[in-house]
Amino acid sequence: MLFGVENLDLYLVLGILVFFGLLEVIAGHLHTTKRTRSDWIQEMGGFFALSVLIKPMIVLSVMGLGQLLVPQYANLVGGWSLLLMLPFYLFPDDILQYWYHRSAHEYEWLWKLHPPHHQAEEMGFFVSYRNAALYYVLMPNIWWVGIATFLGAAPGVALGLVLKQLVIIGSHSTTKWDRILYRFPWLSPVTSVIERIIITPAFHYAHHGKSMKDGVSDPNGNYGNMFSIWDQLFGTAKFTRQFPTDLGLVNDPKEKWTAAYFYPIVTSENPESELARGYQKQDTRRMEPSDVHLEAGTYLWCQCGHSQNQPFCDGSHHGTKFKPMVFEVAKARKMRLCNCKLSKTGPFCDNSHEQS
């Protein structure tokens, strides 16, 4: 119940979905999309499984457990006003999701539940729901929805979910509502305030960009979901007000949707895939530097030591705390690049490999 209307939050979330869906259809996205059958299954199926099965089951379980174990805390904050209940639910929810999402990029076991989200080579509001089922089961902020509801903050949870869906669906949608803000330079101060509070499409598209080489993308940054304040606070924010054109993963093994969604119960048949049983990232560091002749351009130097294309990044750093170092070559020249990853002057070799 929200504002005295039964199921208003549900209608509003459905309304947001229909609204962005219609905008994408009107813009011709359905005709131009290159989505495969597997993409549609992951996006639509993921949405229904999350909304109808996973989320309700977690919330009902938490509430049942609460009644069983700590019944004295039921409805503890039920007397609070909506103005207090909203931040009580929303801020813990969003910071939990920030750290969970960031951890999914930094820890290998959790990353394996997240690639479907980044395998999407086109945006669209349903991309929000592409992840392995277990990713959602372990998502701490869904459990927080159950706890906050048990504590009596249901109206704050309902309104918070509506606002959050509005921002998240908007930041994945192809409508890119923020473009209008970038068109008029005199709007820049207003834009700065907006983008420093909530996640804009440009901010989130940068997270889906394939590679930092384009100067716009940062697949290992911009982790926020509703508020960009956590990225600014913890040093992972990148504001460019531009949209990457190349989206997805550098080395996409094109998993079947069954492995992508049901991992680790279903694993990949492709031994090269991270989702294959027993797969382990290889240590590809070498003690010898590489003497290379590079043309003028932008390059990514591997810092994680797992690339199959040393000394350059090939995207293997996903699931580690590393990301590549961007470096520019102004004009064609020879260089000695570090492969041991111990250099203090990376990407260049400083002979640190001789001291190890």
Candidates 257, 68, 90; CA nearest to 150 is: 68
Answer for the pair 271, 264: CB distance below 8 angstroms, yes or no: no
* 212 binds ligand FES per the rule CB under 6 A: no
The DSSP code sequence of 130-169 is -S-HHHHHT-HHHHHHHHHHHTT-HHHHHHHHHHHHHHHH
Using CB under 6 A as the binding rule, the residues of this chain from 307 to 336 that contact ligand FES are 307, 313-317, 322-324
Write down the least CB distance from residue 319 to ligand FES, Å. Answer: 11
Identify which of residues 259 and 302 has a Cβ nearer to ligand FES in the complex: 302
Tell me which stretch binds ligand FES (CB under 6 A): 103-111, 173-181, 195-203, 302-310. Answer: 302-310
Write down the least CB distance from residue 155 to ligand FES, Å. Answer: 45
Write down the least CB distance from residue 305 to ligand FES, Å. Answer: 6
* 117 binds ligand FES per the rule CB under 6 A: no
Identify which of residues 210 and 323 has a Cβ nearer to ligand FES in the complex: 323
Cα 159 from chain centroid (whole Å): 23
Candidates 36, 40, 37; CA nearest to 48 is: 40
Residue in 13, 302, 340, 349 binding ligand FES, rule: CB under 6 A: 302
* 214 binds ligand FES per the rule CB under 6 A: no
Q: Is the dihedral of CA 313, 33, 243, 111 positive or negative?
A: negative
Identify which of residues 213 and 306 has a Cβ nearer to ligand FES in the complex: 306
Count of residues interacting with ligand FES (CB under 6 A): 13
Token duo for residue 153: 């903050």
What's the DSSP call for residue 41? Answer: I
Identify which of residues 289 and 324 has a Cβ nearer to ligand FES in the complex: 324
CA–CA separation, 139 and 97 (whole Å): 7
Tell me which stretch binds ligand FES (CB under 6 A): 16-24, 97-105, 148-156, 299-307. Answer: 299-307
* 211 binds ligand FES per the rule CB under 6 A: no
What's the DSSP call for residue 324? Answer: P
Write down the least CB distance from residue 341 to ligand FES, Å. Answer: 9
* 303 binds ligand FES per the rule CB under 6 A: yes
- Give the CB-side neighbour count of residue 196, counting CA atoms within 13 A: 8
Query: Helix or strand or coil: residue 316?
Result: coil
Candidates 130, 129, 108; CA nearest to 255 is: 130
Write down the least CB distance from residue 346 to ligand FES, Å. Answer: 11
* 338 binds ligand FES per the rule CB under 6 A: no
Alpha-carbon distances, residue 174 vs 33, 54, 153 (angstroms): 11, 27, 33
Write down the least CB distance from residue 267 to ligand FES, Å. Answer: 23
* 261 binds ligand FES per the rule CB under 6 A: no
CA–CA separation, 213 and 135 (whole Å): 29
Answer for the pair 157, 86: CB distance below 8 angstroms, yes or no: no
Identify which of residues 16 and 304 has a Cβ nearer to ligand FES in the complex: 304
Residue in 102, 164, 208, 306 binding ligand FES, rule: CB under 6 A: 306
Write down the least CB distance from residue 285 to ligand FES, Å. Answer: 10
CA–CA separation, 216 and 239 (whole Å): 8
Identify which of residues 173 and 303 has a Cβ nearer to ligand FES in the complex: 303
Write down the least CB distance from residue 99 to ligand FES, Å. Answer: 22
* 252 binds ligand FES per the rule CB under 6 A: no
What's the DSSP call for residue 258? Answer: H
**Longest CA pairwise span in the chain (Å):** 72
Identify which of residues 196 and 238 has a Cβ nearer to ligand FES in the complex: 238
Q: Compute the C-alpha angle 23/27/28, nearest 5°.
A: 120
Residues lying near ligand FES in the complex (CB under 6 A): 302-304, 306-307, 313-317, 322-324
